[in-house]
Structure 1
C-alpha cells in the first residue's frame, strides 16, 4: 500500500485518476489530504469538510475478474469495510443508508463516491473517494442530519491510525469480493441496511410521498421497496429519497 499525503487538493479522486493516466498505480494506492477544497459526492453533490479535522481520501484498487453486472457487490464491499472499521467505536445505531452513506442513528458520518474504469464487460479498477467526519463538531447550518465520530463518542481521534484501520478493513472486504463471496457480502450489507423492514416515508422523483418498507437491493443495485399492497417497486438513486 502506497500513501500519498497532500497538503491541499481540490479532489483526491481527481488526483488519483489523473495520476493513473501517466503511471501504473500500485494496488491500494491511497491519496489523503488534510484540506480538500472541492470534494465530490453522489449526484454531483459536494463534500464539505473542515481542514485537519476529518479523513478525506481516495483509494485505487484493481479487481481480478469483476463483471459490470456485479457492481452492487463492489458497493457492498466498500461500505462494509468502513462500517467494520468504525463499528467498535460505540456509535449509536450504526447503519448503512442505501447505497453507501454511513449513519449513526439518522445522522450522516461518511459519504462514498466510487468511480469505475470499465474494460469490455469488466470493472478493471476503481477510484474510491471517502469522506469521514471524525473530529469536526460544528457544521454549517444548511447541512442537516450530519454528525462525526467525536460528536457521537466525545473522543478525539488520531487520523493516521484510523485511516490505516479503514484501509485494512476495505482490503478484507475486497478479498471477499475477488473470491466471489457475493452472498456473504450481500447478507452482511442487508443486515445493517438503514430502515430495512421498517415502515418508512419516501419521496419519489415527482415529489410524491408514499409509505413502504425497504426489502432489499435488486441485481442491478436498485433499492427494492415493498409498498402497502405488497407490490415490490425498484428505484435508482435519483428516483427516491428516504425521509
Structure 2
C-alpha cells in the first residue's frame, strides 16, 4: 500500500486526480495531507481543518474489474467503512446524514467526497476523499461540528485511524465486488440520520416542507414520505435536510 504524505496541498483529491492522469496508480494508493488550502466537500462546499490535527486523505480505488451498476454504492461502501472504523475506537451514536456525512450525537465528524472516472461508458476508477475530525477541539462558526477528541476526551493516532479505515474499505469493497447490494443498502439505511422521524426539508427553490425519510435508492436518491402519503424521490441538488 503506497502512502504519499504531504505537508500542504490544495486538496488531496485534486492531487490524486493529477497524479492518476500522469501515471498508473496501484489500487489503494493513498495521499494524506497535514493541511489543505482548498479542501472541498459535496456540492462545492469548503472543508476547513486545523493543521496536523485531523485526518485528510484520498484513496485511489481501481474499479475497472468491478461491474458497478450503481455508482452511489461506492458512497455506501465508504460511509460503512468509516462507521466500522469509528466503532472500533468506541465512538457511539453514529449516523449517516444523506448522502454521506458521518455524525456522532447529531454533530458532523466526517465528510466524504467521491469523484468517479468514467471510461468507455464504465467506471474505471474512483477517488475517495475523506476528511475526519480527529484531534481538533475548536470549530469557529461551525456549531454542528465535532471530533473524536471532543467526543471521547482522548487524543488519537492519525496513522492508526487511517490504517483501520483502509482495512474496512477493503472489507466493504469485497462485498460490493460480489454484487451483494442488498447487504450494503440495508446496513447503510440502518444508520440513516432521521430515518422514519418527522423532518424538515428545503427544496432547490427555497421552499420548506415536512416529511419522513424512508430509504435511499441504489441511485442515491432520497425517498421521503410526504404529508399526502406519497413517497417522492429527491436528488442531492434538489433538497436539503434541515436539522
Which residue number corresponds to residue 54 of structure 1? 54
Q: Following the alignment from structure 2 to structure 1, what is the Cα–Cα distance between the partners of residues 73 and 160?
A: 27
Give the aligned partner of residue 76 of structure 1: 76
For residue 240 of structure 2, what is the aligned residue in structure 1? 241
Task: Indicate if the aligned counterparts of 2:137 and 2:147 stay in contact, CA closer than 8 A.
Answer: yes
Using the TM superposition, give the Cα deviation of residue 219 of structure 1 relative to its aligned residue in structure 2, in angstroms.
Answer: 3.6
Match of 1:148 in 2: 147
Partner of 1:99: 99
TM (norm. structure 1) is 0.96
Q: 1:94-120: per-residue Cα shift (whole Å, max 9, x none)? A: 111110000012210000000001023
Q: Which runs of 5+ in 1 are unaligned?
A: none
Taking the aligned partners of 1:128 and 1:219, their CA distance within structure 2 comes to 18
RMSD (CA atoms): 1.1
Residue in 2 aligned with 1:110? 110
| Contact 2:41/2:111 (8 A) holds in 1 | yes
Q: For residues 22-52 of structure 1, give each alpha carbon's deviation from its aligned partner in whole angstroms, at most 9, with x where no partner exists.
A: 1110100000011111111111111100011
Which residue in the other structure is 1:176 paired with? 175
Cα distance, 1:218 vs. partner?
A: 2.1
**Kept in 2: contact 1:135–1:149 (CA 8 A):** yes
Deviation at 1:183, TM superposition (A): 0.8
Deviation, structure 1 residue 78:
0.8
Q: Is the 8 A contact 2:73 2:218 kept in 1?
A: no
Assess if the C-alpha contact under 8 Å between 1:150 and 1:156 holds in 2: yes
- Mean CA deviation greater in 87-96 or 177-186: 87-96
Query: Is the contact between residue 185 and residue 218 of structure 2 (CA under 8 Å) also seen in structure 1?
Result: no
Distance (whole Å) between structure 2 residues aligned to residue 16 and residue 78 of structure 1: 17
Taking the aligned partners of 1:144 and 1:208, their CA distance within structure 2 comes to 24
Gap regions ≥5 residues in structure 2:
none
Report SS of the residue matched to 1:183.
Answer: helix
Between the two proteins, the alignment pairs up a number of residues equal to 241
Q: Which residue of 2 aligns with 1:197?
A: 196
Equivalences for 1:35-46 in 2 at 5 Å? 35-46=35-46
Write out per-residue CA displacement over residues 136-184 of structure 1, whole angstroms, 9 at most, x where no aligned residue: 000112x231100111111110111111001111111111111111111
Q: Which moved more, 1:82-91 or 1:25-34?
A: 82-91
Question: CA shift at 1:229, angstroms?
Answer: 1.6
CA distance in structure 1 between the partners assigned to 2:92 and 2:58 by the alignment: 26
Tell me the SS of whatever aligns to 2:88: coil
Identify the residue that residue 66 of structure 1 maps to in structure 2.
67
1:74, CA displacement in angstroms? 1.2
